[in-house]
């Protein structure tokens, strides 16, 4: 399709998407299985992680009364890059680090940009329904589609409610001799109304010559570069990407830096606001929201992404959250262990010794080299493929309550040998096993 045809098509895409969004709002709900994590007081729905297509998640939220309740939505959807994204897992085997690369998520579109824009437009319409009257939405894109999406979002949110286009500039490897190296992304910001949350953030502005001006009533500061004042943030943000050696790095190819999300969250939400990200990826928005005392909603349809989010959340301060999954629970005894169990009134002490993990290779997308690396690990240390262990019990058929979490850190599962749980002895305990490929299983203990 040529550009003129595409521009002509934009109003049609918006109209069709409005009809589709209405159908979704009035249609049937998806059924979700529920997993409560660290939720001892059964604090209903404080933070939510949907493991599904975000269209089902948004429909579910609207039917649960979240319409006009979300103060901030940040989305970082696929950019129409026409590429598949690889996820890299590090595993130590015989003291040697092995990288295993597998499929992460796809950004390829059979029917081209029209299909991409249709996908995004209907979702943006649903997001508007969820935004509170004081709410804002940040839409993270790049040069490939930002100009088309700007026209669509002007139609959805109203050109008058367009607040900013933020340029996120970064350094990263790769340059070109044929064009200027592309080192920025574009973030479109809209508010739902004119009465929106906005907490101006400050940035350093270095004095000319890095020397003090000593103007009256102007506060000046000094750091290792020189003298500066603090000014309100401008719309060009220079923030480093998550680099190879960064402590934040989780191996998710399109992981965004916490600093970027922190600016957005502090600017456009307050403590206890609900902050949502419907293309959650590695969970950066949820993590930063949690660290800054916001409630959060995240969603991703990829297995790897959901697995990473579980682990990252387990490593952050342990706020309760609920996973809503529109797949059935899968019962398979893949983890082999020995167990000693001591019951003391209402408390039971469990001592697990994990022996072996029978990873299911049939659903994992691996090339020859990665398969061979993986086979090595399976032979010598299959437990290194476990990313997350949960221990809990069923409240009812569709509701699992996880009260203990063990996480893989760096490249091995860290778990105290003794796990103490205060659980009535009548409850049947289950193990939640998640491997590095995001495959999830339940086993009876």
Ligand X SMILES: C[S@@+](CC[C@H](N)C(=O)[O-])C[C@H]1O[C@@H](n2cnc3c(N)ncnc32)[C@H](O)[C@@H]1O
Footprint of ligand X (CB under 6 A)? 53-54, 76-78, 105, 252, 254-256, 279, 281-282, 284, 299-302, 305
Distance CA 45, CA 411 (A): 32
138 vs 441 by CB, closer to ligand X: 138
Strand arrangement, sheet containing 202-206: 202-206, 227-232, 221-222
Under 8 Å between Cβ of 78 and 91: no
Residue nearest to ligand X (CB): 281
Rg of the chain (C-alpha set): 24
Nearer to ligand X, 81 or 372 (CB): 81
Closest approach, Cβ 412 to ligand X, in A, equals 23
Residue 274: CB minimum distance to ligand X, A = 18
Closest separation in Å from C-beta 288 to ligand X: 10
Are the C-beta atoms of residues 325 and 35 closer than 8 Å to each other? yes
Q: How far is the CB of 29 from ligand X (least distance, A)?
A: 16
Residue 296 CB, shortest distance to ligand X, in Å, is 13
Report the residue number, 59 or 256, with the smaller CB distance to ligand X. Answer: 256
Own/partner long-range contacts of 440-444 (Cβ < 8 Å, ≥24 apart): 440/303, 440/306, 440/307, 440/330, 441/330, 441/331, 441/332, 441/333, 441/334, 441/335, 442/329, 442/330, 442/331, 442/332, 442/400, 443/331, 443/332, 443/333, 443/334, 443/335, 444/331
How far from 303 is each of 51, 113, 163, CA to CA, in Å?
A: 8, 25, 35
The smaller minimum CB distance to ligand X, of residues 36 and 59, is found at: 59
| Between 185 and 405, CB nearer to ligand X | 185
Nearest approach, Cβ of residue 82 and ligand X (Å): 14
- Determine the Cα–Cα distance for residues 278 and 129; give it in Å rounded to an integer: 14
Nearer to ligand X among residue 39 and residue 277 (C-beta): 277
Q: Which is nearer to ligand X, 316 or 443 (CB)?
A: 316
The total of other beta-carbon atoms located within 10 Å of residue 364's CB is 19
Return the residue matching tokens 């923030």: 239
User: How is residue 259 annotated by DSSP?
Assistant: H
Task: Output the smallest distance, CB 166 to ligand X, in A.
Answer: 15
DSSP, res 317: -
Length of the chain: 445
- The nearer residue to ligand X, 37 or 261, going by C-beta atoms, is 261
Closest separation in Å from C-beta 98 to ligand X? 23
């Amino acid at each position: 399709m040529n550009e003129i045809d595409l521009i002509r098509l934009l109003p049609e895409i918006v109209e069709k998407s409005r009809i589709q969004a209405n159908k979704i709002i009035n249609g049937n709900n998806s059924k979700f299985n529920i997993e409560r994590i660290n939720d001892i007081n059964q604090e209903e729905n404080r933070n939510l992680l949907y493991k599904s297509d975000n269209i089902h998640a948004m429909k579910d939220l609207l039917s649960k009364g979240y319409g006009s309740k979300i103060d901030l939505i940040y989305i970082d959807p696929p950019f129409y890059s026409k590429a598949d994204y690889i996820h890299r897992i590090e595993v130590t085997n015989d003291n040697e680090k092995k990288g295993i690369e597998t499929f992460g998520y796809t950004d390829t579109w059979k029917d081209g940009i029209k299909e991409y824009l249709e996908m995004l437009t209907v979702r943006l319409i649903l997001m508007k329904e969820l935004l509170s009257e004081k709410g804002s939405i940040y839409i993270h894109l790049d040069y490939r589609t930002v100009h088309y999406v700007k026209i669509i979002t002007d139609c959805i949110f109203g050109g008058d409610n367009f607040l900013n286009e933020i340029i996120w500039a970064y350094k990263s490897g790769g340059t070109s001799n044929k064009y200027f190296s592309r080192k920025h992304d574009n973030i479109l910001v809209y508010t739902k109304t004119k009465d929106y949350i906005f907490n101006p953030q400050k940035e350093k502005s270095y004095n000319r010559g890095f020397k003090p001006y000593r103007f009256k009533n102007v506060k000046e500061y000094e750091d290792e570069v020189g003298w500066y004042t603090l000014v309100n943030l401008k719309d060009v943000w220079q923030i480093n990407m998550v680099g190879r050696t960064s402590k934040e790095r989780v191996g998710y190819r399109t992981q965004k830096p916490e600093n970027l999300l922190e600016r957005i969250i502090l600017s456009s939400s307050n403590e206890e606001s609900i902050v949502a990200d419907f293309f959650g990826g590695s969970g950066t928005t949820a993590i930063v929201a949690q660290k800054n005392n916001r409630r959060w909603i995240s969603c991703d349809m990829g297995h790897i992404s959901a697995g990473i989010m579980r682990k990252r959340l387990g490593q952050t301060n342990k706020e309760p959250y609920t996973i809503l999954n529109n797949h059935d629970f899968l019962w398979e005894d893949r983890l082999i262990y020995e167990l000693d169990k001591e019951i003391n009134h209402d408390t039971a002490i469990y001592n697990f010794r994990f022996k072996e993990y029978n990873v299911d290779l049939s659903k994992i997308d691996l090339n020859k080299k990665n398969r061979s690396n993986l086979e090595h690990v399976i032979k010598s240390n299959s437990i290194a493929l476990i990313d997350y262990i949960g221990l809990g019990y069923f409240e009812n058929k569709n509701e699992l309550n996880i009260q203990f979490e063990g996480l893989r850190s760096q490249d091995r599962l860290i778990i105290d040998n003794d796990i103490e749980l205060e659980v009535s002895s009548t409850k049947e305990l289950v193990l939640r096993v998640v491997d590095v490929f995001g495959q999830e299983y339940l086993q009876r203990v």
